[in-house]
Structure 1
Amino acid sequence: MSEAILARETNRRQLQQIISGLSDGVMLVEVDQTIIWANEAALLMHGVEEISELGANGEAYRDKFSLRYRNNHPLDVDQYPISRVAAGEVFSDVLIEVSKIGEEEERSWVHRVRSMVLEDSTGTPESLVLILADATEWAGAEQRFEKTFNANPAPAVICRLSDLRFIKVNQGFLEMTGHSRESVIGRSVYEVDVLENAERKDLAIERLNQGATIPQMQAELKLPEGGTKLVIVAGQPLDMNEEDCMLFSFTDLEPRRKAETALRQSEERFAKAFKLTPVPTLVCTADRQQIVEANEAFVSTLGYTPQELIGRTVAELGFIEDGAVMDGLFNVLETTGRVDGLDLKVRKKGSESLDCVLAADTVTIQDNACYLFVLMDITERKRSELELVEAIETVMQDASWFSQTLIEKLANAKRVNTRQLPSASFTDLTARERDVLSLICEGLADKEIAARLNLALNTIRNHVATVYSKLDVHSRAEAIVWARERNLFANQGKGKR
C-alpha cells in the first residue's frame, strides 16, 4: 500500500472515529456512489441496523428507499442526495421524506440533508459526505399546524417577513373575502392589503417591519369583486421552516355592522314616526320613569314645553291625576311589560283635566329599557255620552211605553267604553233584588214592578235603591247598561213590543 493510500485511509478512520458518536447522521460515499460507511445515527434514520441494509451503492439504495420532497413529489434518480454529492455538488437544507420500500407497516422519516466534498492536497475529491439531521418530529409538528391552520374556521393568512409575501392562506379567509388561493399565495401584504384603512395602520406597519406582535385593530379589506368588509385584524410572529413569518388572523365584523345599521335605521324610523304621529306620545325610562322624549302632539295637548318635560319624572310632572292609578300602571308595566286601554284622568298644565285612554308598552332605545305611552283624548266622547245618558234618564222617568227593543238600544248607547268592569257581582243581589233588576231591564216603572210582584210601591223603591247601591250605579239607565254588559236576562222578554 502506497503512503498516499495509507494516509488517506488513516484520515478516513480518524474522521469516522470523530463523527461516529454525533447525533447527526453521517454517510461517507465514494465518487462511484459506493456507500462505504455510516454512523449509528444515520442507520437509525433509515430504520436499519447494519450498513449493508442501506445498499452497497446509490442504485441499491434507490431500490431500498423511496425519497419524496415535502410536497409529495418523488425524487428523480439524479436528484437523490447520493447522486448529487457523487457529482461533486455541494448543497444544504434539502428536506426529503424517506420511507422503506416493500415494508408492510409503512414508516417514514424526514431528513434535512447537506453535503460536503473533502479534497486532497491536489484538489481531487477524497471523501464525499452526506450529513443528515432528523426533522421527523419537526415535520410532524408542522403537519399538525398545517392541518389545524387549514381547518380553523377563523380567517388567517401567513406572510414571510423577508419579502412580505403570503405563503399560506386558510379556507376561512378565502370564504370571508371571496379570494382564490392563487390570488393570495405569492402576493405581498400591499397587493392583498390586510391592513387596509386600519385604525392604527402606521403602528401595524412598524410592528410588521420589526417582526413584533400587531395588536387588534379594525380594518377594511378590499374584496376582489368590489366593496369592502369590516374586520378586526391582529398579527402574531411565528417561525416556519426556520423562516420568520407573521400570522394575520381576522374577525369578521360585517354581521355586526349590518345589525348596527339595521338598528340605526329602525331607530330613525321610530323617531320619525314618534314625532309625526298626531296622537300624544311620551317615552320615559323604565327604571326611574324619567321622561326622555315627548312628541309635538303631547306637548300641544297638555300645554307643556319640551324643556318642562325632558328630564323630569312622570310623578314630578303629575299629568296622571290619580296617584294610585299611576302606581298601578307602573306595577303592571313592570310585571307584564304592557297595558291596553286604561281609562284615566290627565291633567293639562294648569288645572284643566282630560279624559283619556292610555296604552303603554316596553321598548328598548339605545340599549335602555323604556316605556312608551300613547294617549287618546276621549273628553268630547265622554261629554257626548253623559249628555246621552241624561237624555235617557229624562225619558226613562216614565218608560212604561218603551218597547223592549228600544230599551236595549238605549242601554247599548249609554255603555261607556272601558275595559275594566266594576267589581260588583250579580250574586251579591238577593233573589228579590234580582227580580227587581230583571223588571227594570224590561223597562217597567216602579208602579208596574210593584203590581207584577204584588208588593207595595215603597218596598219596590227600597229594593231599587239597594240594587243601585250594590251595583254602584245611580240611575235606571246605568242599571240596564250594567246588566246588558254582563249579558243578563238576554232571553227575557223576547217578542215583547
Structure 2
Amino acid sequence: MTANAAAPHAHRQHLQSIIAGLNEGIILLEANGAIAWANASALSLHGADKLEDLGGTPSGYRKRYTLTYRNRRRVAARQYPLDRLAAAEPFEDLLLNLGRKDDEEFLRNVRARGLNLESGDGADYRVLILHDQTGQINAEERFERTFGANPAPALICRLSDLRYVKVNQGFLEMTGYARDAVLGKSAYELDVLDGGDDKEDAVARLNEGQTIPQREGVVKLADGGERFVIVAGQPIDMHGEPCMLLTFIDLEARKRTELALRESEERFSKAFRLAPVPMALCEGDNLGVLDVNDAFAAAIGADAENCIGQTLSGLGLQPYEGMAAGLKRGESARNREAALATPDGGQLDCLVSAEPVMIGGQRRALVVMQDITERKRSETELLTAIEAVMQDTSWFSRGIIEKLAQLRQPAPATRDVAELAQLTSREREVLGLMCQGHDDDGIARSLKLSRNTVRNHVATIYSKIGVHRRSAAIVWARDRGITGHEPARRTGKRQKD
C-alpha cells in the first residue's frame, strides 16, 4: 500500500475512534453506498448486534427496516436516508419512525441528518447521524394524553409570544369557550390572571417564565360572567419551546357554599336574637356560655355580655340530670324539667330543650328554656281543688266530674296500651266508676261488691299506676281515655273479685 493510499484509511480509523463513543448513532458509507461502519449507539438503535445486521447496502437496509414520517406516511424507497447519502445528497433533520420487518413491536423515533464530508487528502466521508428521540416522544405522548384527560382545567401558554397553544377539556367546560376561541389567543386577550392584589406580580412572573405560586383570581366566561378560581403556573418545554403550564381549581362551588353558610349563620343569629324565649349558645363539651339572647338576659336579670364565658349553672340554671354528659355525646333533649334562679332569689320552673349544632365548623350546644312557672302553679292549685271537691261528689253531676278530671290536660290522641294492660278488667271497672264520680259505697253497690273489696281494688290501682290520691287516679285515667262508659269486656268466665 502506498503512502497516498494509506492516508484515507488512517483518517477513517481516526474518525471512527472519535465517534465510537458518541451517544448519537453514526453510520459511515463508502462512496459506492456500501455500509462501511457503525458505532455501538447506531447498532443499539436498530436492535442489531453486528454491522451485517444493517443489511450491508441501502437496498439491504430497506429489506430489514421500515421508515415512516411522524404523520405515519411511509418513506419512499429512494428517500431513505442511506439512499440519499449514496446519491451524495445531504439533508437536515428528518423526523422518522424506525421499525423492523421481523418484529412488529419494534419502534424507535429518530431524528436523522446526512453529511458529505470531503477532506483535503481526497478522503470522502458520507455520514448518517441518528438521534434517538424515543424517550422524548413517549414522554410527550404521555403528557398529551394526561393533559387532555385531566379533569382539572389547564392551559399552555407559549412564552415567546404569550399565546395559548394547548387547552384541555376541563378548561373548556369550566369557561364555556370553544377550543378555537382559546387557541391562538394571547394572554392579554384572554386574561386568566385577573383579580387579586398580586396580579402584577403574577403577570411579571409569566413574562419572565418563572413559577407562579397558587393564587386566587377571576376568569372571564364565554357568556360574559366570571368564575372564582385558584390559578398556578409552572414553566415547561413543549417541543423545545419554553412554555407556561397554567392549572386551575374551580372555586365556584366553595364560594357558593361559603355564601350559603354565611347567610345561614346570619339567619340563625337574627332568629337567636329575636326569639321571645330564653336561649343560650354553649360549648359542646363543658356548656361554657358563648352567647345568650335578650330573653335569657332578661330572665336572669343580667347583661348579655357579662354572661359570656360563664357556665349555665353559674348563671343560675340547675341542669336536668345527665345534661352535660348527654350533650357531650351529641345527644338531643326535649322538654326536660329544670329550674332557673332569678335575681330576686326566686326560682323559675322551666322546660329545657338542648340540641347539638355545628357553627363555624365547631360543635356547639343550643339550649332553649320555656318558663312554665305559672302553668305549674295553676296545675298544683287545680289538683288541690279537684282533691277538695272529690271529698264529697254526691252533689256534682256526672258531666261536671268528667270535666273536672279533664282540666289538668286533655286526653291524648293515642292510649298507652302498656300501662292500661297492667290493670285487670275488674280494676278498670272500678277506675271507670271512680271517673264517673262514684265513691267507694257507690262502686260497691254498682258492682255488688263489699266496701272492703272495693277499697282493696282501689289500693291496688294506686299501686299499679303510681298515684296516692283519688283525684290523681281520675286524671291518670282520663289521660288514657277511661271515662267509665266503655263497653264491658266479655271473657266467658265470671270475673273474680
TM > 0.5 fold call = yes
Q: Measure, in 2, the Cα distance between the counterparts of 1:110 and 1:119.
A: 29
For structure 1, list consecutive stretches of 5 or more residues without a partner in the other structure: 419-424
How big is the shift at 1:372?
1.8
Work out whether residues 158 and 168 of structure 1, in 8 Å CA contact, stay in contact via their aligned partners in 2: yes
Question: Would the aligned equivalents of 1:440 and 1:480 in 2 still touch at CA under 8 Å?
Answer: yes
Alignment-derived partner of residue 348 in structure 1: 342
Equivalent residues of 1:285, 1:371 under 8 A apart = yes
Q: Distance in 2 between matches of 1:61 and 1:187?
A: 46
Choose from 377, 386, 394 the match for 1:392: 386
Contact in 2 for aligned 1:25/1:38 (Cα 8 Å): no
The residue aligned with 2:99 is 99
Q: CA deviation at 1:103?
A: 4.9
* Counterpart Cα distance in 1 of 2:89 and 2:256: 65
Shift of 1:481: 0.8
Question: Do the aligned partners of residues 333 and 298 (structure 1) sit closer, same or farther apart at CA in structure 2, a change above 3 Å counting?
Answer: same
| CA contact 2:432–2:484 (8 Å) conserved in 1 | no
1:269: which partner in 2?
A: 267
> Equivalent residue for 1:116?
115
Contact persistence 1:290–1:311 (CA under 8 A): yes
TM-score where L is the length of structure 1: 0.75
Aligned residue for 2:195?
A: 197
Give secondary structure in 2 for the equivalent of 1:107: strand
For residues 451-462 of structure 1, the aligned pairs below 5 Å read 453-455=449-451
Letter of the 1:328 counterpart: G
User: Counterparts in 2 of 1:87-486, with a 5 A limit?
Assistant: 91-92=92-93, 94-100=94-100, 103=102, 105-118=104-117, 128-198=126-196, 200-209=198-207, 211-318=209-316, 320=317, 323=318, 325-335=319-329, 337-402=331-396, 404=398, 406-415=400-409, 440-448=434-442, 453-455=449-451, 475-486=469-480
Offset of 1:403 from its aligned partner? 5.1
What amino acid does structure 1 have at the position aligned with 2:331? G
1:88 offset after TM fit, Å? 6.1
1:421 is matched with which residue? none
Deviations 1:49-94 (A, max 9, x none): 657966856x9977875544445466688986568876866634x4
Which segment is superposed worse, 466-475 or 401-410?
A: 466-475
CA distance, structure 2, for counterparts of residue 54 and residue 182 of structure 1:
48
Decide whether aligned partners of structure 1 residues 344 and 120 sit closer, same or farther in structure 2, where only a CA change above 3 A counts. Answer: closer
Distance 1:249 1:413, change over 3 A: same
Partner of residue 39, structure 1: 38
**Which range is displaced more, 16-25 or 3-12?**
3-12
Q: CA deviation at 1:406?
A: 4.4
AA in 1 matched with 2:218 = E
Give the conservation status (yes or no) of the 8 Å contact 1:414–1:477. no
Residues 193, 119 of structure 1: alpha-carbon distance in 2 compared, 3 angstrom cutoff = farther
Equivalent residues of 2:320, 2:336 under 8 A apart = no
Q: 1:194 offset after TM fit, Å?
A: 3.8
Q: Which amino acid aligns with 2:265?
A: E
Q: Which amino acid in structure 2 is aligned with residue 25 of structure 1?
A: G
Give per-residue Cα distances to partners, 1:411-433, cap 9 Å, x unaligned: 12223999xxxxxx899999999
Separation of aligned partners in 1, 2:188 and 2:54: 53
CA distance in 2 between counterparts of 1:470 and 1:22 reads 105
Give the 3 Å change call, closer, same or farther, for CA 173–428 of structure 1 in structure 2. Answer: closer
1:239-279 superposed Cα distances (whole Å, 9 cap, x missing partner): 44444444333333322222212211211222222233333
* Contact residue 436 and residue 483 of structure 2 kept, 8 A: no
Structure 1 pair 224–109 and aligned structure 2 pair: CA distance change class (3 A): same
- C-alpha deviation, 1:492, in angstroms: 5.9
Name the amino acid aligned to 2:151: P
Return the letter of the residue paired with 1:480: I
> 2:139 is matched by which residue type in structure 1?
A
Q: Would the aligned equivalents of 1:21 and 1:39 in 2 still touch at CA under 8 Å?
A: no
What secondary structure does 2:92 align onto? coil
What is the deviation of 1:306? 1.7
- Percent identity between the two aligned chains: 45
Distance 1:430 1:241, change over 3 A: closer
SS at match of 1:482: helix
Q: Determine the C-alpha separation between the residues in 1 that align with 2:191 and 2:72.
A: 32
Give CA-to-partner distance per residue, 1:117-164, whole Å, 9 cap, x none. Answer: 43567xx99655431112223323333333333333333334444444
Aligned with 2:390: secondary structure? Answer: helix
Distance 1:53 1:36, change over 3 A: closer
Corresponding residue of 2:25: 25
Distance 2:57 2:228 in 1: 63
Cα distance in structure 1, aligned partners of 2:304 and 2:55: 96
SS at match of 1:230: strand
Distance 1:83 1:174, change over 3 A: farther
Change in CA separation of 1:464 and 1:333 when aligned onto 2, cut-off 3 Å: same
In 2, the alpha carbon distance for the partners of 1:433 and 1:56 equals: 120
CA distance in 1, matches of 2:79, 2:273: 81
Amino acid at match of 1:96: L
DSSP 3-state at the match of 1:249: strand
| Cα RMSD (Å) | 4.7
Q: Aligned partners of 2:219, 2:345: CA distance in 1, in Å?
A: 63
Please name the residue that 1:422 is paired with. Answer: none
Alpha-carbon separation, structure 1, partners of 2:431 and 2:178: 87
Q: CA deviation at 1:315?
A: 0.8
- CA distance in 2: counterparts of 1:374 and 1:261, whole angstroms: 27
After superposing the two structures, state which structure 1 stretch, 348-357 or 107-116, moved more. Answer: 348-357
After TM superposition, give the deviation of residue 224 of structure 1 in Å: 2.9
